[in-house]
Amino acid sequence: MEQYTLNANGLTCYRGDQCLFQALDFNVQSRQLLMIEGHNGSGKTSLLKLIAGLRSPDEGSLLWNGEAIDKTSSQYRQQLAYVGHNDGVKRELTVLENLRLMQQLFTPSSHSCHDILQQLNLVVQQDSLAGTLSAGQRRRVALARALYSQTKLWILDEPFTALDKATHEFFLEALQQHLIQDGLAVMTSHHDVNLPGVSIQRLELQT
Amino acid sequence: MSNPAWKSFIAMVRRDLLIAVRCRSEMLNPLFFYILVVLMFALAVDVRPSVLQAIAPGVIWVAALLSTLLALDSLFRSDFEDGFLEIMLLSPHSLYLLVLAKVLAHWLVTGLPLVIVAPLLAMALGLPDRTMDELILSLLLGTPVLSLLGAIGTALILGLRSGGMMISLLVLPLYVPVLIYGAGSISAGLIDNATSQPYLLFLAAFLVFTLVFAPLATAAALRISIE
């Protein structure tokens, strides 16, 4: 069993003059889910961006397997899948073209696009432009990025937004499998998450 | 071409070309703007061929420059708004190559058409046939420079609401050398015993320089903007 760790030491983040969070510490290991909670504007998305390496902390440090996370480190980026608040799905491309593009931009997955479409129940829409899909269908395309990435760290910003019940359950199952297989996940969600056999840490952000 | 970095480069170029074909207005608007500006000069300025011919190099180059400026906003805007830019920054492949791919696709869509229609517009302005080589070569070397330099400015102002004016202020001063040497090369072609070679060589050197450094600066600017 491989062991991966994500540590935050004294993490502080400002938005303009406003302090979003200060001196934040956490330690997440393989087979653990870190749930970030807090009301709107408390800095949940900013924290996810910090962890993804999309922004730098104003103070403190983030360590992946004991090494500082560098914004330009391609090795760290190979280990993570990020699904942000905006889904990153191009409206002008078809579902299939979006999936192929993701496979070409990231480490290729062992799953074929057809398998992914079938499991996400998007076979019928594969040649439809993503702009014509519902918000929930587009969210499924975005989540496919994490589901089939074979990365160790999933960073998910409100992944259940607009998902129907069946997809919600399918995704929870996939998340559970990911965590059981030595993965880690950091997530924000307004939905309560309960995954049997998985350790869940909760981090409340307060402004 | 089996290198994953090159595959991602080609995928990115293909993606942007596909989007441009599906959203034709972004491709056609700068071209129509370019044609209109040049033709308006031809209509507005003194009809004596000598006057029109003398100002033609400058008119063609200023119109190309403004047309490129008009098209720059679309370079990263939609990727920024729909979250694709974050995905691009998190790709394990070189951001330098991905930025270069985007600029190449942008130039193919907005810059190359300007080069193709330029000879027709040059005829409308009364430029002699002997200057066509200089015209085409200078635009072929200069318009990619405009796209590469413009990408830096566009990346820097992504997060700003009133970016339109800012980009003009940021990018136009950088365009001045390209304008001078681009128009200069065509003007040199109009003068007997003058050579346009130094102008074209300068544009070629500038293109190589911006090909190396502009994507690096753009990548850094994108990282700043996304914060």
Residues of B in contact with A106 (CB under 8 A): 91-92
| Percent of all residues in chain A with a pLDDT value above 70, rounded to a whole number | 96
Among A92, A156, A157, which would you mutate to test the B interface (most chain B Cβ atoms within 10 Å of its Cβ)? Answer: A92
Name the closest residue on chain A to residue B3, using Cα atoms.
A104
Model confidence at B2, pLDDT cuts 50, 70, 90, reads low
Token pair 């820097």: residue: B156
More confident residue, A8 or A117: A8
pLDDT grade, residue A207 (50/70/90)?
low
User: Which range (B26-30, B120-124, B216-220) has the least confidence?
Assistant: B26-30
Task: Please name the residue of chain B whose CA is at the shortest distance from the CA of residue A79.
Answer: B92
Does A156 score more than 60 pLDDT?
Answer: yes
- Closest Cα of chain B to A47: distance in Å? 11
Whether pLDDT at A101 is above 70: yes
* Mutate: best of A89, A104, A138, partner B, most B CBs <10 A: A104
Place of tokens 């929870």: A172
All structural domains of chain B with their residue ranges = 4-226
Residue B35: what pLDDT? 96
Please report the number of interchain residue pairs, chain A to chain B, with beta-carbon separation below 8 angstroms.
77
Give which of B75, B204, B100, B53 is closest to B150, Cα–Cα: B75
Which of chain B's residues have a Cβ under 8 Å away from the Cβ of A96?
Answer: none
Q: B86 to each of A54, A55, A69, B78, how far by Cα in Å?
A: 7, 11, 16, 12
Q: ipTM score of the complex?
A: 0.88
Identify the pLDDT of residue B119.
Answer: 95
DSSP B25: H
Question: Of A15-24, A65-74, A183-192, B149-158, which gets the smallest average pLDDT?
Answer: A65-74
> Following CA atoms A64, A77, B213, B137 in sequence, which dihedral angle do they give, to the nearest 10 degrees?
180
pLDDT at B174 over 90: yes
Categorise residue B20: left if φ over 0, alpha if ψ from -120 to 50, beta otherwise: alpha
Q: Do B89 and A54 touch (CB under 8 A)?
A: yes
Alpha-carbon span A139 to A152, nearest angstrom: 21
Cβ within 8 Å, pair B15-A90: yes
